[in-house]
Each structure stands twice: as structure tokens, then as C-alpha cells.
Amino acid sequence: MGSLSDASREYCQIGTGDPIEAENLVEFRLLYQGELLSSGNHSRVENKHAIRKSFHPQLSRLWKTNFGLRQLAAFEGNRANPRPNASEDDRIMAGVEALGKQQSMHGFNWLPVAMNRIALRCSLDILLLRPEGDVPIYGKSADQCVIQGADIDGQIKTLLDALQIPPQLQDLPNDARPDVDETPFFCVLHNDRLISEIRLSAKPLLLLPNTRQVRSCDAFALIHVKLNHVSPGTFDRYYD
């Protein structure tokens, strides 16, 4: 991924280049605002999990409202706990629980939208707002802060890592445990190999909402996610 010398340039990274078909498409957007550290920063594990936790409730609502995902959960629920008189909501709840248990790692039950076994490909279009130039932080200059203005590659790596299941235990904070509403823990990707395309637009950030001071590690991200099948017909009835 190429570097950006300021906060307002645009570039595009293509992975496999596989096109994302418009038919049978799952499409949604995630928001994040707050601290966005470089992947090389010593606090990156905590920052990545904080971002991951901010995506979780948004993705939880996606599973509750997207027709295809509800159908997938109901199918899995009926297979895991077949009950002739079970309501659709009961089957969906059982399916979400069963799908999460299939990805049990590091003390969490993970439920990605893009799973290896469903063979999806994923396109990401990211709008990233971040401070431009030298930003004084409480009397300090930007070179004394954790994030430098040009370190956009590391920030994008942090975002991408926060979208996927942590591959190793050391990719989670030492005291990380699921909260009461984080079983399963919803995320976007089983792993980043499912990404076929990334587009990035980086623009200057003035201030985050409800703040009066800017930090050089502040960021606002809008992530537009598109998912579709690697080959036509794969789980079509669940993704439309």
C-alpha cells in the first residue's frame, strides 16, 4: 500500500481484483470515531479491540435486520436445534448462537459476516477523516504524539485488523473478556484474505463531534462494505 504525504489525497489498493457483482449483494456501512493508532504503536492491541467493540453493536443490528442473514441464522438454528414449533425468532437466536460456537477462539465466540465456508469476497470503500499537518496536542507538537500525520498506512492496517477475528491470542488485550452482550462477538471478516478490493479516500478532519480540541490520533471512518459470492449460486438464498 502506497504512502500518503498529506491527509487529503486519494488512492486505491486492489487485492485480487475480483469484481463484486451487483446481484445477490450484501451491502452495509460501519462508522467509527475516536482514537486510531498506527499498527506499529505499542498500544495497538488495545486500540484495535476498542474499534472492534465499536463495530460489534452495529453488526449485531445488521444480523437482526438483514433478510439474508436472518435466513442463514434460521437455517443454522433449525439444523442445530430442530424444534417443529419453534418461532422464527427462536430459530434465528439458536442459529446465531450455533454460528458463533463454530468460531470459538481466545475465550470469544466470533461471528463474522464474511465466512470462509460461505466463500464470500469482500470490497471495502473507506472514507477516513484525520487531522492534517502538525497538530498541537495540549501544548505538545505532533512529533511528540503517538501518530504522525503521514502514518496513514499504519492506521488503515489497524482498521483492517479490527474488522477481522484476531488470529492469535496476543492480538487481544491481556484482560479481554466478552461483555454480557458480546456472545457471539460480531465482526466483518473471518480473515483479511477474503478482501478482494480496498478503496481509500483520506480527507482532513477538523474536529470530532462533541469535542473542542483535536488530537493527531483522532479519526472518523466511514467503511462501506460490499459482500458477494466467489462463484454464482453459492448460498444465493442467504445473500440478497
Give 132-166 pLDDT, tens digit per residue.
765 544 433 444 333 344 478 889 999 999 999 99
What residues make up the domain containing 161? Answer: 10-52+112-234
Question: How much is the pLDDT for 141?
Answer: 41
As for how many domains the chain has, the answer is: 1
Q: Residue 118: CB partners within 8 Å, gap ≥ 6? A: 229, 234, 235, 238
168 part of a folded domain = yes
203 part of a folded domain = yes
Inter-CA distances, 32 with 130, 221, 235, Å? 12, 5, 30
The helix/strand/coil state of 218 is strand
96 part of a folded domain = no
The helix/strand/coil state of 103 is coil
pLDDT in tens, 62-106: 999 999 899 989 999 998 888 888 899 999 999 999 999 999 999
174 part of a folded domain = yes
Question: How confident is the prediction for the chain on average, in pLDDT?
Answer: 82
31 part of a folded domain = yes
Q: Which three cell numbers stand for residue 47?
A: 486500540
24 pLDDT band, cuts 50/70/90, is low
